[in-house]
Amino acid sequence: MSEGSRGSSVAFGQVVIGPPGSGKSTYCQAMRDFLGRLGRSVAVVNLDPANEAVPGPCALDIAQLVTLPDVMGSLGLGPNGGLLYCMEYLEANVDWLRERLRELRGHYVLFDCPGQVELYTHHQALRNVFAQLAKWNFRLAAVHLVDSHYCTDPGKFISVLCTSLCTMLHVELPHVNVLSKMDLIEQYGRLAFNLDYYTEVLDLSYLVDHLASDPFFRNFRRLNEKLVEVIEDYSLVSFVPLNIQDKQSMRQVMQAVDKANGYCFGEQEHRSLEALMSAAVGADFHFSSTLAVQEKYVQSQDKAVEEEVMDL
Protein backbone atom coordinates (compact mmCIF):
# COMPACT_ATOMS: atom_id res chain seq x y z
CA MET A 1 0.00 0.00 0.00
CA SER A 2 1.14 3.52 -0.62
CA GLU A 3 -0.10 6.87 0.60
CA GLY A 4 0.31 9.28 -2.26
CA SER A 5 3.64 11.06 -2.11
CA ARG A 6 4.78 9.32 1.05
CA GLY A 7 7.03 7.25 -1.18
CA SER A 8 6.63 4.04 0.81
CA SER A 9 4.30 1.07 1.10
CA VAL A 10 2.69 2.48 4.25
CA ALA A 11 -1.09 2.94 4.41
CA PHE A 12 -3.03 4.74 7.13
CA GLY A 13 -6.46 4.18 8.56
CA GLN A 14 -8.80 3.58 11.47
CA VAL A 15 -10.48 0.51 12.91
CA VAL A 16 -13.82 1.74 14.24
CA ILE A 17 -15.02 -0.37 17.15
CA GLY A 18 -17.56 -0.10 19.94
CA PRO A 19 -20.82 -1.54 21.31
CA PRO A 20 -23.91 -1.98 19.12
CA GLY A 21 -25.74 1.28 18.51
CA SER A 22 -22.77 3.51 19.31
CA GLY A 23 -22.78 4.96 15.78
CA LYS A 24 -19.85 3.19 14.10
CA SER A 25 -21.27 3.04 10.57
CA THR A 26 -22.57 6.60 10.77
CA TYR A 27 -19.16 7.74 12.01
CA CYS A 28 -17.38 5.99 9.14
CA GLN A 29 -19.51 7.70 6.52
CA ALA A 30 -19.28 11.10 8.22
CA MET A 31 -15.50 10.82 8.60
CA ARG A 32 -15.18 9.65 4.99
CA ASP A 33 -17.00 12.77 3.81
CA PHE A 34 -15.04 15.03 6.17
CA LEU A 35 -11.63 13.69 5.15
CA GLY A 36 -12.68 13.70 1.51
CA ARG A 37 -13.24 17.46 1.72
CA LEU A 38 -9.65 17.77 2.97
CA GLY A 39 -8.38 16.05 -0.15
CA ARG A 40 -7.78 12.55 1.17
CA SER A 41 -8.78 9.50 -0.87
CA VAL A 42 -10.84 7.58 1.66
CA ALA A 43 -12.29 4.07 1.45
CA VAL A 44 -14.72 2.44 3.88
CA VAL A 45 -14.32 -1.29 4.48
CA ASN A 46 -17.25 -3.06 6.15
CA LEU A 47 -16.02 -5.89 8.39
CA ASP A 48 -19.41 -6.43 10.08
CA PRO A 49 -21.14 -9.49 8.55
CA ALA A 50 -24.34 -8.56 10.42
CA ASN A 51 -24.50 -5.07 8.90
CA GLU A 52 -27.08 -5.42 6.13
CA ALA A 53 -27.94 -1.73 5.89
CA VAL A 54 -24.67 0.16 5.44
CA PRO A 55 -25.60 3.88 5.38
CA GLY A 56 -23.16 4.77 2.59
CA PRO A 57 -20.92 3.33 -0.13
CA CYS A 58 -18.30 0.73 0.83
CA ALA A 59 -15.20 -0.02 -1.20
CA LEU A 60 -15.09 -3.53 0.29
CA ASP A 61 -17.73 -5.57 2.11
CA ILE A 62 -17.13 -8.74 4.14
CA ALA A 63 -20.51 -9.94 2.82
CA GLN A 64 -18.60 -10.92 -0.33
CA LEU A 65 -16.86 -13.52 1.85
CA VAL A 66 -19.32 -14.49 4.56
CA THR A 67 -22.63 -13.27 6.02
CA LEU A 68 -24.12 -13.81 9.45
CA PRO A 69 -27.52 -15.10 8.21
CA ASP A 70 -25.79 -17.77 6.09
CA VAL A 71 -23.67 -18.92 9.04
CA MET A 72 -26.63 -19.00 11.42
CA GLY A 73 -28.73 -20.94 8.91
CA SER A 74 -26.13 -23.49 7.89
CA LEU A 75 -24.51 -24.11 11.30
CA GLY A 76 -27.47 -23.54 13.60
CA LEU A 77 -25.68 -20.83 15.59
CA GLY A 78 -27.18 -17.84 17.36
CA PRO A 79 -26.27 -14.23 16.55
CA ASN A 80 -23.30 -14.01 18.94
CA GLY A 81 -21.87 -17.42 18.15
CA GLY A 82 -22.42 -16.86 14.44
CA LEU A 83 -20.56 -13.56 14.55
CA LEU A 84 -17.61 -15.12 16.34
CA TYR A 85 -17.52 -17.83 13.66
CA CYS A 86 -17.56 -15.15 10.94
CA MET A 87 -14.56 -13.41 12.48
CA GLU A 88 -12.70 -16.70 12.78
CA TYR A 89 -13.58 -17.42 9.14
CA LEU A 90 -12.19 -14.02 8.15
CA GLU A 91 -9.00 -14.77 10.09
CA ALA A 92 -8.65 -18.12 8.31
CA ASN A 93 -9.18 -16.42 4.93
CA VAL A 94 -7.12 -13.32 5.60
CA ASP A 95 -5.47 -13.64 2.16
CA TRP A 96 -8.88 -12.79 0.67
CA LEU A 97 -8.81 -9.52 2.59
CA ARG A 98 -5.24 -8.80 1.55
CA GLU A 99 -5.95 -9.24 -2.15
CA ARG A 100 -8.89 -6.86 -2.07
CA LEU A 101 -7.10 -4.26 0.02
CA ARG A 102 -4.43 -4.11 -2.69
CA GLU A 103 -7.09 -2.59 -4.92
CA LEU A 104 -7.38 0.29 -2.43
CA ARG A 105 -3.76 1.34 -2.82
CA GLY A 106 -3.33 5.02 -2.03
CA HIS A 107 -6.46 5.27 0.13
CA TYR A 108 -6.94 6.15 3.77
CA VAL A 109 -9.02 3.20 5.01
CA LEU A 110 -11.84 3.20 7.57
CA PHE A 111 -12.61 -0.33 8.84
CA ASP A 112 -16.21 -0.53 10.11
CA CYS A 113 -16.11 -3.38 12.64
CA PRO A 114 -18.79 -5.48 14.39
CA GLY A 115 -20.38 -4.36 17.64
CA GLN A 116 -20.04 -7.44 19.87
CA VAL A 117 -17.94 -6.36 22.86
CA GLU A 118 -16.35 -9.77 23.41
CA LEU A 119 -14.53 -9.42 20.08
CA TYR A 120 -12.44 -6.64 21.63
CA THR A 121 -12.12 -7.81 25.23
CA HIS A 122 -11.04 -11.46 25.03
CA HIS A 123 -11.72 -13.08 21.63
CA GLN A 124 -8.61 -13.42 19.47
CA ALA A 125 -9.79 -13.49 15.83
CA LEU A 126 -10.28 -9.80 15.13
CA ARG A 127 -7.17 -8.84 17.06
CA ASN A 128 -5.20 -11.26 14.89
CA VAL A 129 -6.68 -9.65 11.77
CA PHE A 130 -5.53 -6.24 13.03
CA ALA A 131 -2.06 -7.72 13.62
CA GLN A 132 -2.01 -8.94 10.02
CA LEU A 133 -2.95 -5.48 8.79
CA ALA A 134 0.02 -4.09 10.72
CA LYS A 135 2.29 -6.63 9.01
CA TRP A 136 0.97 -5.36 5.67
CA ASN A 137 2.23 -1.87 6.62
CA PHE A 138 -1.10 -0.44 7.71
CA ARG A 139 -0.66 2.25 10.36
CA LEU A 140 -3.92 2.01 12.26
CA ALA A 141 -5.56 3.63 15.25
CA ALA A 142 -8.51 2.07 17.05
CA VAL A 143 -11.42 4.50 17.39
CA HIS A 144 -13.60 3.18 20.20
CA LEU A 145 -17.07 4.76 20.15
CA VAL A 146 -19.17 4.88 23.31
CA ASP A 147 -22.65 6.40 23.48
CA SER A 148 -22.53 9.57 25.61
CA HIS A 149 -25.73 8.66 27.44
CA TYR A 150 -23.67 6.40 29.71
CA CYS A 151 -22.36 9.55 31.37
CA THR A 152 -25.78 10.15 32.93
CA ASP A 153 -25.61 6.89 34.91
CA PRO A 154 -22.55 6.57 37.23
CA GLY A 155 -22.86 2.79 37.39
CA LYS A 156 -22.93 2.43 33.62
CA PHE A 157 -20.06 4.90 33.26
CA ILE A 158 -17.82 2.78 35.52
CA SER A 159 -18.77 -0.23 33.39
CA VAL A 160 -17.84 1.71 30.23
CA LEU A 161 -14.49 2.66 31.74
CA CYS A 162 -13.73 -0.98 32.54
CA THR A 163 -14.75 -2.09 29.04
CA SER A 164 -12.69 0.66 27.41
CA LEU A 165 -9.62 -0.23 29.45
CA CYS A 166 -9.99 -3.93 28.69
CA THR A 167 -10.39 -3.14 24.98
CA MET A 168 -7.29 -0.95 24.94
CA LEU A 169 -5.19 -3.68 26.53
CA HIS A 170 -6.55 -6.47 24.32
CA VAL A 171 -6.63 -4.82 20.89
CA GLU A 172 -3.06 -3.52 21.23
CA LEU A 173 -3.41 -0.57 18.85
CA PRO A 174 -3.01 3.17 19.38
CA HIS A 175 -6.37 4.01 20.86
CA VAL A 176 -8.79 6.94 20.81
CA ASN A 177 -11.91 6.65 22.96
CA VAL A 178 -14.81 8.77 21.70
CA LEU A 179 -18.06 9.81 23.38
CA SER A 180 -20.46 9.75 20.43
CA LYS A 181 -23.85 11.42 19.93
CA MET A 182 -22.93 14.47 22.00
CA ASP A 183 -25.64 16.42 20.17
CA LEU A 184 -28.18 14.28 22.02
CA ILE A 185 -26.66 14.36 25.49
CA GLU A 186 -29.09 16.97 26.85
CA GLN A 187 -31.93 14.53 26.10
CA TYR A 188 -30.46 11.97 28.50
CA GLY A 189 -30.82 14.11 31.63
CA ARG A 190 -28.59 16.23 33.85
CA LEU A 191 -25.01 15.08 34.43
CA ALA A 192 -23.82 14.70 38.02
CA PHE A 193 -20.53 16.49 37.14
CA ASN A 194 -19.18 18.76 34.42
CA LEU A 195 -18.51 17.09 31.08
CA ASP A 196 -14.73 17.38 31.42
CA TYR A 197 -14.97 15.14 34.49
CA TYR A 198 -16.10 12.33 32.19
CA THR A 199 -13.88 13.05 29.20
CA GLU A 200 -10.69 13.43 31.25
CA VAL A 201 -11.77 10.71 33.74
CA LEU A 202 -10.88 12.80 36.77
CA ASP A 203 -10.86 11.68 40.42
CA LEU A 204 -13.32 8.78 40.34
CA SER A 205 -13.77 8.70 44.11
CA TYR A 206 -16.44 11.37 43.61
CA LEU A 207 -18.26 8.97 41.32
CA VAL A 208 -18.14 6.23 43.96
CA ASP A 209 -19.52 8.65 46.54
CA HIS A 210 -22.30 9.58 44.15
CA LEU A 211 -23.13 5.91 43.62
CA ALA A 212 -23.24 5.35 47.38
CA SER A 213 -26.23 7.69 47.59
CA ASP A 214 -28.24 5.07 45.66
CA PRO A 215 -29.57 2.34 48.00
CA PHE A 216 -28.99 -0.32 45.34
CA PHE A 217 -25.29 0.52 44.86
CA ARG A 218 -24.57 1.21 48.52
CA ASN A 219 -23.99 -2.50 49.16
CA PHE A 220 -21.44 -2.63 46.33
CA ARG A 221 -19.31 0.33 47.40
CA ARG A 222 -16.24 -1.82 48.07
CA LEU A 223 -16.51 -3.46 44.64
CA ASN A 224 -16.86 -0.08 42.93
CA GLU A 225 -13.86 1.24 44.81
CA LYS A 226 -11.72 -1.64 43.59
CA LEU A 227 -12.90 -1.22 40.00
CA VAL A 228 -12.08 2.47 40.16
CA GLU A 229 -8.63 1.67 41.58
CA VAL A 230 -7.88 -0.58 38.59
CA ILE A 231 -8.94 2.14 36.13
CA GLU A 232 -6.91 4.83 37.90
CA ASP A 233 -3.84 2.61 38.33
CA TYR A 234 -3.60 2.14 34.55
CA SER A 235 -4.46 5.81 33.92
CA LEU A 236 -5.09 5.14 30.22
CA VAL A 237 -8.74 5.94 29.61
CA SER A 238 -9.94 9.34 28.45
CA PHE A 239 -12.53 10.41 25.90
CA VAL A 240 -12.91 12.86 23.03
CA PRO A 241 -16.48 14.21 22.67
CA LEU A 242 -17.98 13.88 19.19
CA ASN A 243 -20.92 15.48 17.43
CA ILE A 244 -20.76 14.43 13.78
CA GLN A 245 -22.96 17.41 12.85
CA ASP A 246 -20.25 19.79 14.13
CA LYS A 247 -17.21 20.29 11.87
CA GLN A 248 -15.08 21.52 14.79
CA SER A 249 -15.90 18.37 16.76
CA MET A 250 -15.00 16.20 13.76
CA ARG A 251 -11.74 18.10 13.44
CA GLN A 252 -10.82 17.40 17.06
CA VAL A 253 -11.40 13.67 16.61
CA MET A 254 -9.46 13.70 13.33
CA GLN A 255 -6.48 15.38 15.02
CA ALA A 256 -6.50 12.87 17.87
CA VAL A 257 -6.58 9.94 15.44
CA ASP A 258 -3.94 11.46 13.14
CA LYS A 259 -1.65 11.80 16.12
CA ALA A 260 -2.34 8.20 17.21
CA ASN A 261 -1.63 6.52 13.85
CA GLY A 262 1.12 8.94 12.80
CA TYR A 263 -0.61 10.41 9.75
CA CYS A 264 -0.09 13.97 11.00
CA PHE A 265 3.68 13.63 10.59
CA GLY A 266 3.47 12.83 6.89
CA GLU A 267 3.61 15.03 3.83
CA GLN A 268 -0.06 15.68 3.12
CA GLU A 269 -2.30 18.47 4.42
CA HIS A 270 -0.77 18.29 7.94
CA ARG A 271 2.80 19.01 6.96
CA SER A 272 2.69 22.62 8.17
CA LEU A 273 4.22 23.46 11.52
CA GLU A 274 0.89 24.71 12.81
CA ALA A 275 -0.78 21.37 12.13
CA LEU A 276 2.07 19.41 13.68
CA MET A 277 1.91 21.53 16.82
CA SER A 278 -1.84 21.17 17.04
CA ALA A 279 -1.40 17.39 17.11
CA ALA A 280 1.48 17.59 19.61
CA VAL A 281 -0.65 19.55 22.07
CA GLY A 282 -3.76 17.51 21.49
CA ALA A 283 -4.71 17.70 25.17
CA ASP A 284 -5.26 21.45 24.84
CA PHE A 285 -7.50 21.00 21.82
CA HIS A 286 -9.27 18.19 23.64
CA PHE A 287 -9.98 20.53 26.55
CA SER A 288 -11.22 23.32 24.29
CA SER A 289 -13.54 20.96 22.41
CA THR A 290 -14.90 19.60 25.69
CA LEU A 291 -15.38 23.15 26.92
CA ALA A 292 -17.42 24.05 23.83
CA VAL A 293 -19.67 21.01 24.20
CA GLN A 294 -20.02 21.64 27.93
CA GLU A 295 -21.08 25.24 27.25
CA LYS A 296 -23.81 24.08 24.86
CA TYR A 297 -24.91 21.43 27.36
CA VAL A 298 -25.09 23.89 30.28
CA GLN A 299 -27.04 26.38 28.19
CA SER A 300 -29.62 23.76 27.29
CA GLN A 301 -29.89 22.71 30.94
CA ASP A 302 -30.29 26.31 32.13
CA LYS A 303 -33.04 26.84 29.58
CA ALA A 304 -34.83 23.70 30.81
CA VAL A 305 -34.63 24.94 34.42
CA GLU A 306 -36.01 28.34 33.40
CA GLU A 307 -38.93 26.65 31.66
CA GLU A 308 -39.64 24.59 34.78
CA VAL A 309 -39.63 27.74 36.93
CA MET A 310 -41.99 29.49 34.53
CA ASP A 311 -44.36 26.52 34.66
CA LEU A 312 -44.44 26.81 38.44
Confidence check: pLDDT of 268 > 70:
no
- Look at strands 108-112 and 42-46 and give their pairing: parallel
Confidence check: pLDDT of 19 > 60:
yes
The Cα-based distances of 30 to 61, 110, 225 in angstroms read: 18, 11, 38
Confidence check: pLDDT of 93 > 80:
yes
Domains of the chain: 11-201+237-310 (3.40.50.300), 208-236 (no CATH)
pLDDT at 304: 56
Beta-carbon count within 10 A of 102 CB:
10
Confidence of residue 307 (pLDDT cuts 50, 70, 90): low
Number of residues that make up the chain: 312
Confidence of residue 7 (pLDDT cuts 50, 70, 90): very low
pTM for this predicted structure: 0.82
Give the whole-angstrom CA distance, residue 252 versus residue 282. Answer: 8
Confidence of residue 276 (pLDDT cuts 50, 70, 90): very low
